[in-house]
Amino acid sequence: MKYKNIILSCMGVVVLGVGGGYIMQRQHHATSSVSSTSSSRASESSQKVDLPDTAKADNATLILVNKQHVLDHELDFEKSEMNGIQYSQEIDGPLRKFLNDAKKAGHPATLVSGYRSKKYQEQVLNENVQQNINNGMTESEAKKATHAVIQTPGASEHQTGLAVDVMTDEYWKQYHQLESDSDKTEGQKWLIKHAPDYGFVLRYPKSEAAKKSTGIDYESWHFRYVGVENAKYMTKHKLTLEEYDDLIQGQSTK
Ligand SMILES: [Zn+2]
């Protein structure tokens, strides 16, 4: 049932793209005149010809949103909800299975955040700055610390409905904070290891190279849906979505 829904919603995008004069629910790229910078790691891999069939520049599920690819408008997509948190209907099946299987494996987890509008992102950002100030930072320190972990409005992929913050209850119930050292727990380790089986990648991995590519510090809780094949490929080749996008764009212009 769930699978059928996912397939239908994926096809919906394709059908619209082909038959509807390229009107897609999501554009692959957010509005931007800035082309993404090729990284050496991505160009090294550009010789690879074993990309999944779904690794296509017009695959809306692979939409790239970051500081260089800003979403200046709200996307039009069906939303699902869990415990009052919204996300794209496209990921409802995979996300529920991911969380159910984590629970079955003895690692219940909490969906902390999903879809966020641009306006809400603004609010989250301002609140975080204020919290840092309350914790004793100067305003400029607070802003710097906030911008290292929270995307500026329009640059957050939470706006796509395809990104979720998921944290093991082992950590979340105790600290109620999104902290990278949650990855010390067995539960978060399980989530990170198994995410690709459900089509999710850990979007901001723990390495200097990844940080350079994404511009975002390591986040052990932020998972992005890209589909199972793409998630497995990206994880196997240690590619960020920025690098994967470069690889696909390179491929598609050949
Ligand atoms: Zn997040």
Q: Quote the CA–CA distance of 123 and 117 in Å, as a whole number.
A: 10
Question: Are residues 80 and 12 both part of a single domain?
Answer: yes
Span from the CA of 145 to the centroid of ligand 1 (angstroms): 16
Among 151, 123, 162, CA closest to 216:
151
| Residue 14 tokens, joined | 């394709």
Claim to verify: residue 107 and residue 128 sit in the same structural domain: no
139 has pLDDT over 90: yes
Q: Are residues 8 and 104 in the same domain?
A: yes
Question: Average pLDDT of the chain?
Answer: 84
Domain check: are 81 and 135 in the same one? no
Shared domain check, 139 and 58 = no
Q: How many angstroms does the Cα of residue 218 sit away from the middle of ligand 1?
A: 11
Distance between Cα 13 and ligand 1 center (Å): 24
* Whether residues 146 and 170 fall in one domain: no
Three-state SS string over 40-67 comes to: HHHHHHCCCCCCCCCCCCCCHHHCECCC
Quick check: 28 and 60 in contact, CB under 8 A? Answer: yes
Q: Residue 248 — pLDDT band, cuts 50, 70, 90?
A: very high
Domain count, the chain: 2
pLDDT of residue 124: 87
CB 239 within 8 A of CB 247: yes
Residue range(s) defining the domain that contains residue 135: 118-151
User: Which runs of E-coded beta strand occur in the chain?
Assistant: 79-82, 85-88, 109-113, 163-168, 200-202, 222-225
What is the distance in A from the centroid of ligand 1 to the CA of 197? 19
Per-residue pLDDT of 173-182, as tens digits, reads 999 999 999 9
Is residue 44 among the annotated active site residues? no
Report the distance separating Cα 238 and Cα 41, nearest Å: 9
- The pLDDT of residue 250: 86
Q: Which of 90, 157, 170, 219 is catalytic?
A: 219
